[in-house]
Amino acid sequence: MRKIIIAILIVLGLFTNLQAQIKNYIEPEKPLTRILIIFDASTSMMQRWDGGIKFVKAKELLNELLDSLETVQKTQKLEIAFRVYGHQSPDHLMDCFDTKLEVAFGKNTVGMIKDRLKTIQATGTTPIAYSLSKAEYDFPECSDCRNIVILITDGLEMCDGMPCEVSVALQKKGVVLKPYIIGVDIDIRVSDLLSCMGNYFDANNEKEFRRAINTIVGQVTNLTSVQVNLLDTNGKPIETNAVMSFHDNFSGDIRYTYMHTLNQTGQADTIYLDILSTYDLKVHTIPPVYLDSIKLEEGIHNIINLPAPQGYLFVDIEGVAPENSQIKCIVRQTALPETMYILDADKKQKLITGLYDLEILTMPRTYVDAVLIEQSKTTKINIKEPGDLIINFKNPAFASLLYERGDILTNLYDFTPDKTHYRFRLQPGYYRIIFREQKYSKSTNTGEFKFRINPGEFKVENL
């Protein structure tokens, strides 16, 4: 009885461990999210808005945002920093360098930001572009972090800067994801000058500001569900088992990688992506297939359809010699010179449907052009079994091995005098070895040896 209990415990332990491994694989730990809040403290923020002073209300709403983010910090890895512009110099000086990182990234910074917010006064101008450019240095180096900027402003750039160009540059460099901009009481006629920087929210009143906060917090802290359907020639989502990489459309950075999987019901398995990026999808079939500029929608199950029809290529080297599987095959798309893939002979390989040219690295090389790969079918290329040839030179010699095809001779190998023993695996056919021993110095001392290789033959020749 005791042995049975021990066995059950061992099995349960293994099962629990397996479940943990599966869970860790399906639900990888989220990277550190870092949010930089850039706050407008220019004099225009002292104007009235929605029954109060714009600057006072914006600070109250910013405190609500901080409370929400502090709640998120209890369950997710999240750091917050705080940059302010327009608060150090009076407006008449037009200080276009008036921006400062008031609270740097770190743990438990919400209280520090709230304390600093109490003492800040709106006094200066609006250097948005310069503040954004300084934000690049606010984020400490991190290879696996989500860097997010939330800009809260009521006005336009006042220092001849180009905030949209700065924002795009930061995104392309991979410094930040697409920023969020909350426009406080912005004239609709000029809102386009802010929306080009990123995800723009028009807050004409306190209610709209609060709605923008809720949307941003939801997008920043939650992933959205995605299903990628890889379609066959008939448009059916049956293709699978290919690596997918999701790249940020601006920076090109790799955001996610998944192995495409069909679940137990035969449908594409659900994956979860950050809604902050616009994605370029690369499915690593052979050749790869792409879908660019994918914008995900929040709150729905996003479905991505991508044609990836595939068939199989099988290069069969006749015979059972283990060396056959070591022969490589270069695959090119028909009419294109670039090498697309190198596959092993005697291995069935998936390819996107279409025409391909093959260069099989036998000796001599075997070329097969315009090979058609069809949906779900296996195209088989039969290559005759090579023969084995051993060449022994009695004396050191200069020599060449040539393949004979009609009146055409093709040089396959040059021998050197420092070696007298050679072994080759040659395709069936006719060959010649033209040689002259090193000790001779006249062309009339040239020797010629003709021979034939049959499939699977083992031949030893002494010259």
Q: What is the mean pLDDT of residues 208-223?
A: 90
Closest-CA residue to 254 (of 281, 236, 276): 281
Choice among 6-15, 81-90, 249-258, 318-327 with the minimum mean pLDDT: 6-15
Task: Compute the distance between CA of residue 110 and CA of residue 104 in angstroms, rounded to an integer.
Answer: 11
Crossing angle (nearest 10°) for helices 110-119 and 54-72: 170
Give the position of tokens 């066995």.
7
What pLDDT, in 10s, does the model give residues 381-420? 999 999 999 999 999 999 999 999 999 999 999 999 999 9
Alpha carbons 215 and 208: distance in angstroms, whole number: 10
| CATH code of the domain occupying 223-307 | 2.60.40.1120
In this prediction, residues 227-232 reach a mean pLDDT of: 98
- The rounded distance, in Å, linking the Cα atoms of 250 and 238 is 31
Q: How confident is the model at residue 29 (pLDDT cuts 50, 70, 90)?
A: low
Lowest mean pLDDT among 68-72, 126-130, 218-222, 229-233: 218-222
- How many angstroms separate the Cα of 260 from the Cα of each of 230, 244, 263, 292? 9, 7, 10, 18
Percent of the chain with pLDDT over 90: 78
pLDDT category at 298 given cuts 50, 70, 90 is confident
pLDDT value for 191: 81
Contacts of 74 (CB under 8 A, 6+ apart): none
Mean pLDDT of 348-357: 97
User: Which of 216, 224, 58 shows the shortest CA–CA distance to 149?
Assistant: 216
Q: Contact, 242 vs 97, CB < 8 A? A: no
Looking at 2.60.40, 1.20.1250, 3.40.91, 3.40.720, the CATH number of the domain 310-383 comes to 2.60.40
CA distance 196 to 257: 29
Q: Where are the domains of the chain?
A: 30-221, 223-307, 310-383, 387-462
Average pLDDT over residues 335-355: 94
d(CA 365, CA 299): 56
**Which pLDDT band, with edges at 50, 70 and 90, does 222 fall under?**
confident
13: pLDDT strictly greater than 60: no
Please give the CATH number for the structural domain made up of 30-221: 3.40.50.410
Instruction: Decide whether 30-221 matches 310-383 in CATH topology.
Output: no
CATH superfamily of 387-462: Carboxypeptidase-like, regulatory domain (2.60.40.1120)
Residue type, 241: N
pLDDT at site 28: 54
The model's pLDDT over 418-430, given as tens digits with 9 standing for 90+, comes to: 999 999 999 999 9
| Residue of 415, 407, 408, 410 lying closest to 389 (CA atoms) | 415
* Contacts for 327 with CB less than 8 Å, ≥ 6 apart: 315, 317, 344, 345, 360, 361, 362
Helices and strands: H and E segment counts in the chain: 7, 29
pLDDT at 438: 93
pLDDT in tens, 118-162: 999 999 999 999 999 999 999 999 988 999 999 999 988 899 899
Whole-angstrom distance, CA of residue 201 vs CA of residue 222: 19
